[in-house]
Amino acid sequence: MRHRFVAVVAALLGLAAIVAAQQTSVIREIVVQGNQNVTKEAILALMRTKVGQPYIQAQLDQDKQALENTGFFQAVDVRARALELDAWQVVVEVQEYPLIKEIRVTGNNSVKTEDILKVLEVQPGQVFNLKKVQPSIAAIRKLYTDKGFFANVDDFAPLEESPNTLNVSIIELTVGNVTVEGAVRTKPSVMRKLIKTRPGETFSARRWESDLRRVYGTQWFEEVKSSERMSEEGIGKVDLTVSVKETRTATFNVGAQIDPRSGFAGFIRLDDANFLGTGQTIGVGYLQATEGGGPSLDLTYRNPFLDERDTSLSVQLYSRVIYRFAGTTFGGDDSPTSDDRYTERRTGLTTLVGRPVGKDLTASVGIRAEEIVTDNLDKTSSNGFIQQDGRVAVLTLAGVRNRRDVDVDPSRGDWIRVSLEPGFSDITKVGGLFPDPELLGSGTFLRSTLEYRAYFTDQPPRGTKLDEPRRVLAFRAKYGVVSGSKLPFFEQFFAGGSDTVRGYREDRFWGKQTLTTTVEYRYPIQKAFNAVLFVDYGGAWGGYGSVNEYTQSDSLSLHLGYGVGFSFRTPLGPIRLDFGFNEEGGSRTHFMIGTSF
């Protein structure tokens, strides 16, 4: 027992002697070797070991780890060497990464090299740093993603044959095959014009989604779905497929309809929105209202692919009867005039040529030429009518920026249209409330309009699921002004009714200026059925005088309409039914075949 105690004491004394000896061993010198661009002072500042401190091997190991963690060195060695019994020399040997003098970017086709260089954390004139590799790669990927592309970085390192050159090699995701399934009637050449994504080009998610929206927006297809899968032909390729289910585009209808201006009317109509699968529209219609006035006829033609630049052409020939101050639809048969309702027959031609001029931008130019003849006048009882017969020719110059997600039923984005319409009129006959002979003869005018629409939803973007219904808050504002000599009554702005300020009769307000605004909240009940809450605020002013109870204003005058409505998508087209109330305590029911905004 005694011998064991002596051994333990001896061991403790020996350990204490070793510790005491190490504590008295002092770092006399620190030598740094191998550094070229990173200064000795910078290396020493990273080390906790300093000259004059005791030599502790564990501390040297921590210093080595600290130098490696900087990312500047390919290799680091920190070792101690005895100079004499109680003095040590620390040798720090490093192998630096090279100084970067040039950055070479390869493989980028869709993103500019200068844009890539801006996001890199390694720049020319700096020592290559391994810790900045992953953040730089992440920044490159984000740059591509923000632009709608996808890419991987295959290499991010100095070149072996040229160490001062940083090589950034990018592999962009490209398009393999583009396939269309289910298009039986629609010709392949038409589908290629709708789908702009081509094999071999860099895959753009935004462009692909735009292609799908374009296909869906034709309304030639009941369903539009897509699939994207990695190609078996090679690395970095994606095969794209759009699957469609064609719907009926040709219709022949005989029946009755309700028109906001003419009440009940019988009609015969033949339309085809995808004639022989070419994407062209043809239409012919005949309508006879119960109010009399004779039939209305129209011929319609549209070609959305006039050339390879997607130039579109629309032409319409017509002879239409317009029932001034009728407004008999559901809301009563009252008229501001004491006469029987009178009509305007407008016979003419309209043409419009449009072409995309940039991303989301389209420019168009059109011509409208008409002859206007007033009919069904009861001149024996009073002069409550307005007669200005003659001819008019209008040139339309317009630009549209369309950033809506889906044109048919938008849920986010905006749309803006600016137009200038210089016109010429030649009035040959006047009568009624404004028989001033000064109105006779020729004159010119200029109509300018600005319209803005915006859409908001609290639901996620549709992406490629284009037909999913959305809760939508929609806003529209339109301002117009027209000026000129001998401005005809029928070339003013009109407000009131189903498409401007609901709750009021059609054409209730008129003038040389107009401002109308609408806010709608659309709530989907079913896929093709929406309930709508709406508020309209607007009017027109500064034009011709009042007509009996249709009092007008010479200055800015806006009116409130509000109510609830329903919209339906049917095989015959979209239908709207709105119940509107006005600030005067009145109400009207508005029925329209056509879309809202």
The pLDDT tens digits of the residues spanning 148-199 come to 899 999 999 999 899 999 999 999 999 999 999 999 999 999 999 999 999 9
Burial string for 100-127 (b: 16+ CB within 10 Å, else e) reads beebebeebebbeeeebeeebebeeebb
For residue 231, the one-letter residue type is S
Residue scoring higher pLDDT (565 or 465): 565
pLDDT of residue 258: 61
- 216-239 average pLDDT score: 89
DSSP state of 504: S
CB 447 within 8 A of CB 407: no
Beta-bridged to residue 494, according to DSSP, are 510
User: Is residue 21 predicted with pLDDT exceeding 80?
Assistant: no
Mapping DSSP to helix (H, G, I), strand (E, B) and coil, where does residue 4 land?
helix
pLDDT of residue 380: 59
- What whole-number percentage of the chain has pLDDT above 90? 64
User: Is residue 412 predicted with pLDDT exceeding 90?
Assistant: yes
pLDDT of residue 32: 93
User: Is residue 381 predicted with pLDDT exceeding 80?
Assistant: no
- 590-596 average pLDDT score: 79
For 376-412, list the strands marked E by DSSP: 386-402
Cα–Cα distance measured from residue 248 to residue 236, given in angstroms and rounded to the nearest whole number: 39
**How would DSSP label each residue in 430-477?**
EEET---GGG-EEEEEEEEEEEEEEEE-SSPP-TT-TT----EEEEEE
In sequence order, which residues have a C-beta less than 8 Å from that of residue 212 and are 6 or more positions away?
224, 226, 242, 464, 466
User: Is residue 146 predicted with pLDDT exceeding 70?
Assistant: yes
- What whole-number percentage of the chain has pLDDT above 70? 89
pLDDT of residue 379: 61
Residue with tokens 């004394």: 13
User: Is residue 50 predicted with pLDDT exceeding 70?
Assistant: yes
Q: Which of 218-222, 258-262, 581-585 has the lowest mean pLDDT?
A: 258-262
Domains and CATH numbers, the chain: 22-96 (3.10.20.310), 102-172 (3.10.20.310), 174-246 (3.10.20.310), 250-593 (2.40.160.50)
Phi, psi of 30 (to 5 degrees): -125, 120
Q: Which of 123-137, 278-292, 390-404 has the lowest mean pLDDT?
A: 278-292
User: Is residue 420 predicted with pLDDT exceeding 90?
Assistant: yes
Tens digits of residue pLDDT in 382-401: 566 788 999 999 999 999 99
- 452-469 average pLDDT score: 89
pLDDT of residue 263: 58
User: Is residue 415 predicted with pLDDT exceeding 90?
Assistant: yes
Joined tokens for residue 543 = 């034009």
User: Is residue 143 predicted with pLDDT exceeding 80?
Assistant: yes
pLDDT of residue 485: 80
In sequence order, which residues have a C-beta less than 8 Å from that of residue 358 and are 6 or more positions away?
none
Q: What is the mean pLDDT of the chain?
A: 87
Q: Which of 115-119, 280-284, 338-342, 583-587 has the lowest mean pLDDT?
A: 338-342
pTM across the whole model: 0.76
